[in-house]
Structure 1
Amino acid sequence: MPRIVLLSDTHNAHEEINVPDGDILIHAGDATNSGTFQEITAFANWFKQLPHKHKIFVAGNHDWLFEKNAEVARHALGTKIIYLQDSEIIIEGLKIYGSPWQPRFFDWAFNLMRGKELAEKWRLIPNDVEVLITHGPPLGILDLNLDDFPCGCEDLAKRIEELVCFAKLKLHVFGHIHHNYGKLEKHGAVFVNASNCDEDYQPTNAPIIIDL
């Protein structure tokens, strides 16, 4: 049973976070504030020295370089970190898929219009995915902002409902909405908003551990 440690939205405060041991370490995006090469390199140097056997990263809306120059950004990550962007990998017998897209909000990185554009991205998620990583949440699941307004993606929520029918999905991890950190079980799967930083961008939330 692999132990999965979940991070998200560390926003350059990674050095202040106590990361527990595990088999698979997942970061669901917004490792940086501005997504510069220097910020990504600093994050990667910290991330890759952690003892976890497998380390996975999906970019967030602040991680600009992954959208502007993916080749340079991936080079900054190095070879010890698995980067997923509309792609999958099998680790410890688990099919894991990652995608950075979110509904448009002030034109940040990996922003798309709600509706057709996002629905096409979520169509790429394989039906037999077991661990899904997205930067943003689905509508109605750990997606409330400080004003208790649901900010999640309706099209992602619809795709989740389809995936549930295949009875393969075990874990969906995301971040993006700092205010709604936590986990819940729904549709026979575990959903985790792993945002480590709070609304003030302070790293007050601990990494979340899931045993699958």
Structure 2
Amino acid sequence: MQQGIRTTFLLLSDTHAKNGVAVPDLPVDVAIHCGDLTDGSKIHEFETTLALLRSIKAPLKIVIAGNHDFTLDDPVYQEKADTARRLFSIAPELMRKEYGNPGDAHRLISQEPESIHFLDEGTHYFRLGNGADLTVYASPFTPSMEADWGFQYKRGDHHDFAIHSKVDVVITHGPPKGVLDITNSRQRGGCEQLFAAVARARPLLHCFGHIHEGWGGKLVTWRGTEPSENPSHFTDIDNSASSVIETLATIEPRQSDSAEMKREKECRLRSLTEEGYRRTSHCSQDESPARRGQTTLFVNAAIQSGDEDGRPQLPWVVDMELPRSTDAGLETSSASSRTAA
């Protein structure tokens, strides 16, 4: 089997246009932002996050929306604007000043350099400058009880995550149910349908955010060669062969920790903070290589802390091998793309 091309990803999510968010001064092949570019979907917040994206040293920067970015979801924005005028007598000119007109946020992003690609839901293909091909499935949609923010559907309703088996990387705003999705209230906030779709496709990497306190990485080994009839984290993950790479529980001291454990965690967190990111590598020569159809690396890359006044969490840097491009005439200094019809 032909060896793939080592590709470095920078993963982040839920920056919410906050001050103090820093990205590593590290050249990577692909940067991915998994949504919640803003906190209140205001124009100046998009400008803040776009400036952050421009500072990343990557020839390809992939961006999706999150539920907080509701002005990118035109029907939701129109409904919120109508409600603001009807119930709170907010003048239309004030709305336009803060949020822009419908479509303005899209236009702002589209004016960015060619390296920044804003993806709608679906499958997208990229030819990378390092000579690799990258197939991505993207979706900003998350379940919610009320479904009154951007790109949401009511929990319990059906949403079709059409991920096919040749997808390398799945990018969603929210997590799948059962993986890096436990909330501060000790409930699982992920989506069952998303987990089932990922379990059937078994991509190399699935990155997301949304549940801030779920920050972390886990290399999942799948059970058997085929998914179960109704995939879930109970039936389809081989936990004995899977490994947690890092979570907040491994770097943040807890009240129940011994004094020695607290010191170890404090030292670990200090070291990672000084480096500015958490790195993990899963190439063919590594100790835990990613194996297509057998393993998936899940990463919750939420930057905003789950605690209201907590410090920003760390972005992730991931090394993986992607299939070599079949285009002999590929330019090695840029990335090109196309989207599935």
Common fold by TM > 0.5 = yes
Matched residue pairs, number? 205
Q: Corresponding residue for 1:198? A: 305
Q: What's the CA shift for 1:202?
A: 4.2
Cα-to-partner distance string for 1:160-198 (whole Å, 9 max, x where unaligned): 11112xxxx100000000011000011301000000111
State whether structure 2 residue 118 is matched by structure 1 residue 83. Answer: yes
2:141 is aligned with 1:141: no
Structure 1 residues 91 and 35, CA gap change in structure 2 (3 angstroms): farther
* Structure-2 residue corresponding to 1:114: 155
Contact 1:183 1:190 (C-alpha < 8 Å) held by counterparts: yes
The AA in structure 1 aligned to 2:151 is: F
1:94 Cα deviation after fit = 1.3
Cα shift at 1:11: 1.1
Unaligned ranges ≥5, structure 2:
1-5, 78-101, 223-294, 321-341
Q: Report what 1:207 is aligned to.
A: 315
2:238 corresponds to: none
Q: Gaps spanning 5+ residues in structure 1: where?
A: none
Change (3 A) 1:159 1:201: farther
Residue 198 of structure 1 aligns to a residue whose secondary structure is coil
Match 2:24 to one of 4, 19, 22: 19
Offset from partner CA, 1:22-61 (integer Å, 9 cap, x none): 1111000111101122211221123123221110101001
- Given that residues 135 and 168 in structure 2 are in contact (C-alpha distance below 8 angstroms), is that contact kept between their aligned partners in structure 1? yes
User: How does 1:88-99 map onto structure 2 within 5 Å?
Assistant: 88-92=124-128, 93-99=133-139
Give the secondary structure class of the aligned counterpart of 2:72.
Answer: helix
- Root-mean-square deviation (CA), in Å? 1.8
Distance in 2, matches of 1:20 and 1:150, equals 34
Runs of 4+ with >3 A deviation: 114-117
Task: Please give the per-residue CA displacement for 1:59-90, whole angstroms capped at 9, x wherever unaligned.
Answer: 00101111127742222113431011113132
- 2:287 alignment counterpart: none
1:58 corresponds to which residue?
A: 64
Whether 1:4 aligns to 2:9 is yes
Query: Kindly tell me: are residues 105 and 12 of structure 1, through their superposed partners in 2, closer, same or farther at Cα, counting changes over 3 Å?
Result: farther
C-alpha change, 1:210 and 1:91, in structure 2 (3 Å) is farther
What is the identity percentage for the equivalent residue pairs of Structure 1 and Structure 2? 31
For the residues of structure 1 that align with 2:30 and 2:19, how far apart are their CA atoms?
17
Q: When the two structures are superposed, what TM-score results if normalisation uses the length of structure 1?
A: 0.89
Alignment-mate amino acid for residue 10 of structure 2: V
**Given that residues 138 and 153 in structure 1 are in contact (C-alpha distance below 8 angstroms), is that contact kept between their aligned partners in structure 2?**
yes
CA distance in 1, matches of 2:119, 2:163: 12
Of structures 1 and 2, the larger Rg is shown by 2
Normalising by structure 2, report the TM-score. Answer: 0.57
Distance, in Å, in 2 between the alignment partners of 1:202 and 1:31 is 18
